[in-house]
């Protein structure tokens, strides 16, 4: 079982920036407690790879506003995994050539909601 506060602190250490990253997601802390140490280590390694620019971001050319940025100014990194046959996703959002602003952690329904806000998913209706 992983402690949510320790998990957040470790990610903040990896990111090492003055701007505070928002940790967002429905039941974020509850989901973190379901992680095994091995899964948490894999997430930490993924974050290191993102920071070292070993992972390609999702880029969107949208002019849509997202908080105080235009979506085209953002880079989004995605990490899928499962716990007890439930699919979860992490989205790490960064401003191009600048700061990391959000760390989203949630189930697929939450993930779809965030993807729509970031203009990463178009409605299929």
Mean pLDDT of 34-59: 96
User: pTM here?
Assistant: 0.89
Which pLDDT tens digit goes with each residue over 37-47?
A: 999 999 999 99
Return d(Cα 30, Cα 38) in angstroms, integer. 17
- Residue 111 pLDDT grade (very low, low, confident, very high; cuts 50, 70, 90): very high
Which residue ranges make up each domain of the chain?
A: 4-114
- Residue 22 pLDDT grade (very low, low, confident, very high; cuts 50, 70, 90): very high
Return d(Cα 5, Cα 41) in angstroms, integer. 15
Question: Does the structure show a pLDDT above 50 at 124?
Answer: no
């Amino acid at each position: 079982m992983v402690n949510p506060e320790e998990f957040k602190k470790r990610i903040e250490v990896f990111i090492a920036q003055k701007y505070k990253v928002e940790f967002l997601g429905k039941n974020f802390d509850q989901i973190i407690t379901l992680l095994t140490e091995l899964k948490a280590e894999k997430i930490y390694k993924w974050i290191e790879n993102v920071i070292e620019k070993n992972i390609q971001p999702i880029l969107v050319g949208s002019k849509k506003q997202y908080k105080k940025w235009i979506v085209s100014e953002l880079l989004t990194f995605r990490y899928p995994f499962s716990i007890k046959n439930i699919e979860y996703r992490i989205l790490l959002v960064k401003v191009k050539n600048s700061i990391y602003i959000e760390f989203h952690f949630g189930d697929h329904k939450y993930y779809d909601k965030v993807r729509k806000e970031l203009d990463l998913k178009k409605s299929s209706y």
